[in-house]
Chains A and B, each alone.
Chain A
Amino acid sequence: MLDIAFKDFKAKKSRALMCIIGVMVCVLLIGTVNNVLYEMENGLKGDLGTVNGKLYFEKNGTGFPPYGSILNEELGDEVLNQSQVNREKSTKALFSALEGTQTDSGFSIIIVGLTPGKEQAFIQNATVNGKSSLVGEADNAIIMGSEAAIKYNATVGETITVNDNQYKVIGIMNKQGTGWPLSIDYSMVMALNKAQNISSMPNLTSTVIIIPSSSYTIQSAETSLQDTYPKYSILSEQDAEKTIDKNLSQIRIFMNMINAFIFIVSIVFIMNVMMMTVKEKTKEIGTMRAIGTRKRSIMKLIIYESLIMSVIGGIIGIILISPVYNLMGLLMGYTGIDFLSFYIPPLVLVQLLVIIFVIGTFSGLLPAYLANRISPIEALRYE
């Protein structure tokens, strides 16, 4: 019956084309949405790397990155003097998003002000082109994240102007996020007092980035600091992960709602076309039944036909996902995209194959049921 279904399908090209395009668009949309979701998850999870091995001392109820948190510098100094804290490596830090600096991908440039000499607390593992320390540099010296550098077309040694302020770029970090960029990639690291000036937050800080002293583990430092400061939050990698998961799950629900919608629309679409087909073929189906074709074979014929269409459309859709995704990136201002590269995360691919199969089968079921209700006697009368 598969070969007959294929011949039927070829005989009605425009109808088939409609279905194929329908499934193609469905797979393309779902695939792209899932790709974005996947990279976002990857990227945000990657952000956790910047929290790894340290604690963020913050105002209660704030998360990571610690934008909403405001602390007095005196409190910061007090925290730095606690025995759980490695004073040499830990630092007060002011995080603030620079207004009017939204990049095409929706992120703003983040100012990170910290005590010169303690850049490692934030930069950690990033490789820096140029200098990685603000010590002995001009008051307006900055170390830039990769995406921030791209946005301002900055090179090491140059002076750039952002919101009427001039900065001397002394170092540029390599990109930290794989795929989706991380907060660190959008950062401009500078001296704390400079950051306080620019964001008009004198004597204020957002957080203390804490590296535990040698007699404490991350865990024990967190518990013991929390005991000392019950009204503040001590954010660890686990806490950051929770915040990120919470944010992600909302996005995930939203994206999956979009997916479900696209999915249902395309099933209804193909089902509709297949119902038209069945109606149109009443006489043929009746003839087949009259000359002894079993109901099961008729059912197979219809389902095969809708499967053929959804598989062809689905495969074209899958092939197009990568280029479309790259094109999206290009429109969003990413550079260095390799259009010949073809990549779909295996998990997304499996999801899509299941979707293609389900669309093909489900959209054929109702039409097949209708086809089986055709009485051969009535159909033979049908003109």
Chain B
Amino acid sequence: MDGLVKGVGLWKTYKLDVTEVHALRGLDITVDQGEFVAIMGPSGSGKSTLLNMIGCLDTPTKGELYIGDEKTSDMSDKELTRMRAEEIGFIFQTFNLLPALSVRDNVEFPMRNLSGKLKPNKTNRVKRAEEVLELVGLTDRMNYLPAKLSGGERQRVAIARALVNKPKFILADEPTGNLDTEATENIIKLLHEVNAEGNTVIMVTHDKDTTHDTRILRIRDGVIQN
């Protein structure tokens, strides 16, 4: 089976005045549909850089990156924005919910980023948001503002938000980095449930305890080691 995400010879080079920093050095990666992948590695090894690239937030300096059958490595900003809206679900370490919006509105929000036929009407958007919130077990918190929620609950909302557009895969950069042990377990369990439903999950983590039942990719100095 062809990879859902396929990166070949990925380089990312930052120019700082005269010196060049190579965050990725010819990295190859393939992730298949339905996988749960954990990316591990020391600080500064290029994990976030890789994840941002797969998430269409960034493009490689050199190399080719495919998502499904679309080549994203030379897409324009506009096309990358569309890819992010339609194909990718993001989960962040710091949750990044929109503080002025209720839980329901936060989860409904990504559907506004869709365009044309893909964009449901308001009624269907709300219906879908509530459906996904039920999935993450937050039906009774729908009218809360994010500030009123615990960290674990916020990350659940973020997961619901990531799922709501039925993306090709979910990217999570240290999703449990700001959570205590119990909340961490719950979030990892939820991500596994989401994965069991057929969603592909790619997660960056520092915590070994979060990596059971996942394929671990070890990254060091901008290349994958195993």
A joins B in a complex: yes
Q: Which residues of chain A have a CB within 8 Å of any CB of chain B?
A: 1, 4, 7-8, 10-12, 283-284, 287-295, 297, 376-377, 380, 383
A292-B113, A297-B113 given as contacts; is B101 within 8 A of A7 (CB)?
A: yes
Q: Which residues of chain B are near A294, meaning CB under 8 Å?
A: 78, 81, 85, 113
Q: Does B75 have its Cβ within 8 Å of any Cβ on chain A? A: no
Q: Please state if B84 and A290 are interface contacts (CB–CB under 8 Å).
A: yes
Q: Please state if A292 and B82 are interface contacts (CB–CB under 8 Å).
A: yes
Name the CB-closest residue of A to B56.
A292
Q: Which residues of chain B are near A291, meaning CB under 8 Å?
A: 84-85, 90, 109-110, 113, 161
List 23 A-B residue pairs with CB atoms under 8 Å apart, sorted by A's residue number. A7-B101, A7-B105, A11-B99, A12-B100, A284-B99, A287-B92, A287-B96, A288-B98, A288-B109, A290-B96, A291-B90, A291-B110, A291-B161, A292-B110, A292-B113, A293-B113, A294-B78, A294-B81, A294-B113, A295-B77, A295-B81, A297-B112, A377-B52
Q: Which residues of chain A are near B96, meaning CB under 8 Å?
A: 283-284, 287, 290, 380
Name the CB-closest residue of A to B55.
A290
A287 to B52, CA, bound (A): 13
Could you list 13 further interchain pairs (A-B, Cβ under 8 angstroms) beyond the known A287-B96, A295-B77, A377-B58?
A4-B105, A4-B109, A7-B101, A8-B100, A11-B99, A288-B98, A289-B81, A290-B96, A291-B84, A291-B113, A292-B81, A295-B81, A376-B57
A-B contact count (CB 8 A): 63
With both chains docked as a complex, state the minimum distance between the C-beta of B123 and any C-beta of chain A, in angstroms.
14
Closest 9 CB pairs of A and B: A292-B85, A11-B100, A292-B84, A292-B113, A287-B96, A7-B100, A8-B100, A293-B113, A377-B57
Q: Which residues of chain B are near A10, meaning CB under 8 Å?
A: 100
Q: Please state if A380 and B92 are interface contacts (CB–CB under 8 Å).
A: yes
Q: Does B86 have its Cβ within 8 Å of any Cβ on chain A? A: yes
CB within 8 Å of A: which B43-76 residues: 52, 55, 57-58
With both chains docked as a complex, state the minimum distance between the C-beta of A47 and any C-beta of chain B, in angstroms.
57
Q: Which residues of chain B are near A377, meaning CB under 8 Å?
A: 52, 57-58
A295-B81, A377-B58 given as contacts; is B90 within 8 A of A290 (CB)?
A: yes
Q: Which of A10, A11, A289, A292 has the most CB of B within 10 A?
A: A292
With both chains docked as a complex, state the minimum distance between the C-beta of B118 and any C-beta of chain A, in angstroms.
11
A376 to B88, CA, bound (A): 15
With both chains docked as a complex, state the minimum distance between the C-beta of A237 and any C-beta of chain B, in angstroms.
63
Q: Which residues of chain A are near B113, meaning CB under 8 Å?
A: 291-294, 297
- Dominant SS among interface residues on chain A: helix
With both chains docked as a complex, state the minimum distance between the C-beta of A290 and any C-beta of chain B, in angstroms.
6
Q: Which residues of chain A are near B58, meaning CB under 8 Å?
A: 377
Name the CB-closest residue of B to A383.
B94
Q: Which residues of chain A are near B101, meaning CB under 8 Å?
A: 4, 7
Q: Which of B57, B100, B112 has the most CB of A within 10 A?
A: B100
Q: Which residues of chain A are near B85, meaning CB under 8 Å?
A: 291-294
With both chains docked as a complex, state the minimum distance between the C-beta of A23 and any C-beta of chain B, in angstroms.
21
Q: Which residues of chain A are near B55, meaning CB under 8 Å?
A: 290
A292-B84, A293-B113 given as contacts; is B57 within 8 A of A287 (CB)?
A: no
Taking a contact as CB atoms closer than 8 A, the residue among A292, A295, A297 that contacts B86 in the complex is: A292
With both chains docked as a complex, state the minimum distance between the C-beta of A302 and any C-beta of chain B, in angstroms.
14
Name the CB-closest residue of A to B113.
A292
Name the CB-closest residue of A to B102.
A7
A290 to B109, CA, bound (A): 13
Interface string of B181-209 (1 = CB under 8 A from A): 00000000000000000000000000000
With both chains docked as a complex, state the minimum distance between the C-beta of B14 and any C-beta of chain A, in angstroms.
11
Q: Which residues of chain A are near B83, meaning CB under 8 Å?
A: 292
Interface string of B111-129 (1 = CB under 8 A from A): 0110000000000000000
With both chains docked as a complex, state the minimum distance between the C-beta of B160 and any C-beta of chain A, in angstroms.
12
A288 to B85, CA, bound (A): 10
Q: Which residues of chain B are near A4, meaning CB under 8 Å?
A: 100-101, 105, 109
Q: Which residues of chain A are near B52, meaning CB under 8 Å?
A: 377
With both chains docked as a complex, state the minimum distance between the C-beta of B139 and any C-beta of chain A, in angstroms.
21
Name the CB-closest residue of B to A8.
B100
A7 to B85, CA, bound (A): 22
Q: Which residues of chain A are near B110, meaning CB under 8 Å?
A: 291-292
Taking a contact as CB atoms closer than 8 A, the residue among A287, A292, A380 that contacts B98 in the complex is: A287
With both chains docked as a complex, state the minimum distance between the C-beta of B27 and any C-beta of chain A, in angstroms.
18
Interface string of B158-181 (1 = CB under 8 A from A): 000100000000000000000000
With both chains docked as a complex, state the minimum distance between the C-beta of A244 and any C-beta of chain B, in angstroms.
55
Q: Which residues of chain B are near A283, meaning CB under 8 Å?
A: 96
With both chains docked as a complex, state the minimum distance between the C-beta of B208 and any C-beta of chain A, in angstroms.
25
With both chains docked as a complex, state the minimum distance between the C-beta of B70 and any C-beta of chain A, in angstroms.
15
Q: Which residues of chain B are near A284, meaning CB under 8 Å?
A: 96, 98-99
Name the CB-closest residue of B to A292.
B85
With both chains docked as a complex, state the minimum distance between the C-beta of B13 and any C-beta of chain A, in angstroms.
15
With both chains docked as a complex, state the minimum distance between the C-beta of B112 and any C-beta of chain A, in angstroms.
8
Q: Which of B52, B86, B112 has the most CB of A within 10 A?
A: B112
Q: Which of A291, A295, A383 has the most CB of B within 10 A?
A: A291
A380 to B58, CA, bound (A): 13
With both chains docked as a complex, state the minimum distance between the C-beta of B99 and any C-beta of chain A, in angstroms.
7
A284 to B96, CA, bound (A): 7
Q: Which residues of chain B are near A376, meaning CB under 8 Å?
A: 57
Q: Which residues of chain B are near A292, meaning CB under 8 Å?
A: 81-86, 88, 110, 113
